[in-house]
């Protein structure tokens, strides 16, 4: 699990060197939106500063566009791409959390946006959303309306200390925003905290352009599994724990992982040997999380769930 943040002008001036020292590996940065009832694109006044700050400190970054439905999807996508320009880091992001329409009409607009981004950049954008938005708005008419979305990475918002489920049609999430009240050195205001489900190598391989991958020299020492039992509240919370630290300070997780990237074995074997609890707990983690399972989506089962839970008030 790799820690990251997402920021906008609401976080004010950011000391990216301190953010880097705190252990942040990636950041999603707000770039633009078309405010409600406005036809002129709003550009976040901290976007360029934040992007340069992240780049200068070796933090992988991605730009996101807050999607609205009153402006043509293709115009939004083209304006977004023109603003951001070349993207040598993480893919662009569709921030989907408000809507002026729902059902098939909204689905067509969202699909048009992501397909335009893909056509322009040659890379599939990440979709940011929550189950609370996606289910009642995107699958309002038919569950199968969103089958195409499985081809795009999912960045899911769900504020909970438990391991979250996922959203149809995805069998797993890639990024998880788990709180909007995080505290990180270098940022005075509260900030959204995220996890990437995998190792740093997985992040580089799956989400960086090949050129960036070949130039990347940053490696995470002694990569292990960091369980998000508590939000990051201080600098040490971002430091990658050794095997002993994991065994001593983090309770056994009470959740089931949908999918997680392969983790490398910790090099801190001496500390693990000294601590009698380490082998059993680390074995539990490896047995629990190191197996990749490809789950097939069952549309019928999901449809029954949608009808029972989401549309209950409509019956």
Q: 237: which 2 tokens?
A: 């919370």
Residues in the chain: 315
The sign of the dihedral angle between the CA atoms of 239, 174, 70, 83 is positive
Find the angle CA(94)-CA(97)-CA(103) to the nearest 5 degrees.
95
| 6 tagged catalytic | yes
Gap between the Cα atoms of 94 and 74, Å rounded: 13
Gap between the Cα atoms of 213 and 311, Å rounded: 45
| Strand residues in 68-166 grouped as ranges (E) | 93-95, 126-129, 154-157
DSSP class per residue in 54-66: HHHTT-EEEEEEE
Cβ–Cβ under 8 Å, residues 14 and 44: no
Spell out the per-residue pLDDT of the chain, length 315, in tens.
Answer: 999 999 999 999 999 999 999 999 999 999 999 999 999 999 999 999 999 999 999 999 999 999 999 999 999 999 999 999 999 999 999 999 998 899 999 999 999 999 999 999 999 999 999 999 999 999 998 899 999 999 999 999 999 988 999 999 999 999 999 999 999 999 999 999 999 999 999 999 999 997 656 555 444 443 333 334 333 433 333 433 333 332 333 333 333 333 333 333 444 444 344 444 434 444 444 454 444 444 454 545 444 434 443 333 333
Instruction: State the catalytic residue, choosing from 15, 55, 78, 97.
Output: 97
pTM: 0.70
Backbone angles phi, psi at 94, to 5 degrees: -95, 120
Gap between the Cα atoms of 113 and 105, Å rounded: 13
Instruction: State the catalytic residue, choosing from 6, 33, 95, 174.
Output: 6
């Amino acid at each position: 699990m790799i820690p990251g943040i997402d920021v906008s002008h609401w976080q004010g001036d950011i000391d990216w060197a301190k953010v880097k020292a705190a252990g942040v590996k990636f950041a999603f940065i707000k770039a633009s939106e078309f405010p409600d009832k406005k036809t002129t694109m709003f550009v976040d006044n901290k976007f360029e500063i934040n992007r340069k700050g992240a780049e200068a400190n070796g933090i992988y970054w991605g730009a996101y566009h807050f999607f609205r439905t009153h402006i043509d999807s293709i115009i939004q996508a083209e304006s977004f791409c023109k603003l951001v320009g070349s993207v040598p880091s993480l893919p662009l992001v569709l921030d989907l959390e408000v809507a002026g329409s729902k059902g098939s009409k909204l689905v067509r607009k969202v699909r048009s946006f992501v397909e335009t981004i893909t056509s322009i950049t040659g890379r599939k954008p990440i979709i940011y959303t929550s189950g609370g938005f996606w289910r009642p708005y995107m699958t309002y008419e038919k569950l199968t309306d969103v089958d195409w979305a499985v081809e795009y990475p999912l960045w899911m918002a769900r504020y909970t200390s438990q391991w979250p489920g996922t959203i149809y049609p995805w069998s797993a999430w890639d990024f998880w925003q788990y709180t909007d009240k995080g505290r990180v050195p270098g940022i005075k205001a509260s900030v959204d905290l995220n996890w990437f489900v995998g190792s740093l190598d997985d992040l580089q391989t799956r989400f960086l352009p090949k050129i960036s991958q070949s130039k990347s020299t940053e490696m995470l020492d002694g990569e292990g599994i960091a369980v998000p039992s508590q939000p990051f509240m201080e600098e040490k919370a971002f430091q990658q724990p050794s095997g002993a630290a994991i065994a001593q300070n983090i309770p056994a997780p009470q959740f089931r992982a949908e999918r997680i990237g392969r983790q490398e074995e910790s090099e801190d074997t001496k500390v693990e040997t000294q601590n009698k609890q380490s082998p059993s707990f680390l074995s539990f983690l490896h047995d629990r999380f190191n197996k990749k399972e490809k789950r097939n989506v069952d549309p019928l089962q999901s449809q029954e769930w949608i009808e029972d839970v989401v549309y209950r008030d409509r019956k």
